[in-house]
Structure 1
């Protein structure tokens, strides 16, 4: 069975879309953003049962999911050696024999995501691959360090070679309804990122309501976010389907009004291959095929890749393998 796809590492991660320049803060638009929680939950409850992808189609979708993963390590015991191993996995995310059988050579993950201290090691390890390095920043995960230090952290990561910066917003601005403060903060983050693309982490599990999620999504996009992202992965509640639906529809609304596409990144708690298929189905139904590319959609994950690789081995050989046959490094 052959998927007939080759990937050029020099162009696989090219960002073809014009960047979202942002707009003026429109408080009428923000105030109009609502979220019908019961309807959202009903819609999301139907998703797992409505889409059943099997055999070759499932394998193709799982390979697509791999290309959209921000392969991540954000642990206090990270070392340069661990990051180099992770980067090797990003360059060769699936065993070569399986990719050869599937006819899908050249597959890589969407990016590698690390703390600032590990940016230099990641950039060196990925040199020449076209795989970008993303750095979490601005006092990740709480976002409570002094504002000048958060800006300096962005500057340092960009100088070290990070092409993407995952910033965390100040949750208090959302909880207090201080949308001007959130807009000003996000705009400053975007300016300091320069050419590096910025992903705004909303930490949705700490925002209280889905309406707050909708409004925070819009404000961050108005301030120039290239992506909006659910979570740091450190909250008690991370990416969920209801939160994703709210954020995706905010993205659609923003695109319809401005003509600029903003990316989406669910992060935290997505560890099973079957879960990635549900998220991809949701994106396809709500935003369309254009968003199923690395410049507009990413999974923030680490263990997800291992489970996908196990499923692909089962598809090729008919047998499941132990997880340790598909280690991250």
Structure 2
């Protein structure tokens, strides 16, 4: 777990000017080249045996999520049951990586999951907009951790970032990091759809990693543009380069808009070809998605039995 700035970059955040100099000194992104590479990797095809493995791997990487104002304890318990046994008719189907909920539902999720190897993830820091005072955001985090959250998904202050107040964003991430005591891992959400440029996404990726993120995450799923192959590819390049410089590995979580098995396989190809196989585990790569699980289960059943059972075969979230 990253709990301090890696020593090769220790002085980068010593002042606002040094942090700005570093972030604006990162190589500029060629949008055309980035999108072309993401599209090319998305055309890779895989055979039946590899597809079966990819489907199970993708299921094991899902943060099964409910983040609605109408969430109830019953809905969260139902989601936890689905995470533990995604396909009640086939015990060989893997569990999902986590159940992701609001802080007030973290205790319900924890009780429903028990000691199973499915994490409780909780959004925090005034999700999804992040418009609150720091003490309110930190109280949000403490509440989730006290309720049994294994992972915190925080949102950065996009207004501060876009205004160029990088040190403020860095220090806020560090303050949240300090609240993630013990085994709790921190995912830092950038809301890439609001960052306007690929250069900003690259800068946000490095800023989050410098501040101690265990994961960098594309989106909240609450805006028009969420995860895309291109912005995920860019973040995968960032974690690859960060490990090369510091020796510290950071995970990636694309979230929002990933709905089909075909989509999931494209992202797994991106991971393998960009960051490498070390990231092809749920410890280092996640999908922020719920409807994706339903399609993965239908495709898995098709490979197993040779036929589709239709959309009613799986539960509707």
Contact 1:22 1:225 in 2 (8 A): no
The superposition leaves residues 140-186 of structure 1 with CA deviations (integer Å, 9 ceiling, x where unpaired) of: 00000222100100011000100100000000122112211111111
Cα gap change, 1:240 to 1:20, in 2 (>3 Å) = farther
Contact 2:3 2:177 in 1 (8 A): no
| CA apart distance, 1:96 | 3.5
The superposition leaves residues 35-74 of structure 1 with CA deviations (integer Å, 9 ceiling, x where unpaired) of: 111110111121222x111312101110010000001011
Contact 2:158 2:195 in 1 (8 A): yes
SS of the residue 1:261 aligns to = coil
Q: TM-score, normalised by structure 1?
A: 0.90
Contact 2:42 2:269 in 1 (8 A): no
2:122 is aligned, of 135, 147, 150, to: 135
Aligned to 1:197: 185
Which deviates more from structure 2 when the two are superposed, residues 271-280 or residues 40-49?
Answer: 40-49
1:278 is aligned, of 266, 279, 283, to: 266
Alignment of 1:19-168 (within 5 A): 19=2, 21-23=4-6, 24=10, 25=13, 27=19, 28-33=21-26, 34-49=28-43, 51-97=44-90, 99=91, 104=92, 107-168=94-155
The superposition leaves residues 211-242 of structure 1 with CA deviations (integer Å, 9 ceiling, x where unpaired) of: 00000110111010110000000011000011
Contact 1:239 1:269 in 2 (8 A): yes
Which deviates more from structure 2 when the two are superposed, residues 51-60 or residues 283-292?
Answer: 51-60
SS of the residue 1:85 aligns to = helix
The superposition leaves residues 19-45 of structure 1 with CA deviations (integer Å, 9 ceiling, x where unpaired) of: 353244263431222211111011112
Aligned to 1:269: 257
Q: How many residues are matched?
A: 305
> Please, which runs of 5 or more residues in structure 2 have no aligned partner?
none
Q: TM-score, normalised by structure 2?
A: 0.93
| CA apart distance, 1:328 | 4.6
Aligned to 1:185: 172
Contact 1:48 1:278 in 2 (8 A): yes
What do you get for the CA RMSD once the two structures are aligned? Answer: 1.4
| CA apart distance, 1:206 | 0.2
Q: Measure the CA separation in 2 of the matches of 1:216 and 1:185.
A: 13
Aligned to 1:217: 205
1:174 and 2:143 matched: no
| CA apart distance, 1:123 | 0.2
> Please, which runs of 5 or more residues in structure 1 have no aligned partner?
1-17
Contact 2:130 2:155 in 1 (8 A): yes
Q: Measure the CA separation in 2 of the matches of 1:72 and 1:300.
A: 7
Contact 1:20 1:260 in 2 (8 A): no
